[in-house]
Amino acid sequence: MSSPVAKTDDDRASETPPSPSMEAPQRVGDTPAYDARARASRIRTRIVKVATTLRGVSVPDLSVSRLLNAHPPTIQSLLDYTRAGGWVSGDHPPQAELPGKVYGYGVAVPAVMVLYGLALIVMRAQRFLVAVLVIALLTIFITII
């Protein structure tokens, strides 16, 4: 048996590194950089698809002045909209209205009623003070009982 010969620093310096053609070829997707580039490419493709889809959609004017000057719809108009099924076209099956009506009567109308009531109280300092006093008195009354 022959013993392996230890290489000196001079021997290592004289060796040439293997050329890229001699190395085993890497499979596509093995490197983190490739994965990041592929992911970025997929994201760009999705963004382009979404932008193309939304090209014909009109964007509402959400400027501050418009929001401050616009009057919110009344609860009655919200109920009428929910009852009429205004979110679907005229020739639709009755099942298309059901999810919107469930949302309208179960979520939108109750939430709007609560928030309109809260806004009504908070708009004026006197109403707010009266509401705070009533809540304080009710809290004291309930803790006594």
Q: In this predicted model, what pLDDT tens digit does every residue of 84-140 receive, in sequence order?
A: 877 776 677 777 788 888 898 999 999 999 999 999 999 999 999 999 999 999 999
Q: In terms of residue numbers, what domain contains 106?
A: 69-144
pLDDT in tens, 5-35: 555 655 555 555 555 444 444 555 556 566 7
Q: How many CA atoms lie within 13 A of 128 on its CB side?
A: 5
Please check the confidence at residue 3 and state whether its pLDDT lies above 70: no
Domain assignment present for 119: yes
How many domains does the chain fold into? 1
Residue with tokens 């809290």: 139
- Domain assignment of residue 120, yes or no: yes
Q: Does residue 3 fall inside a structural domain? A: no
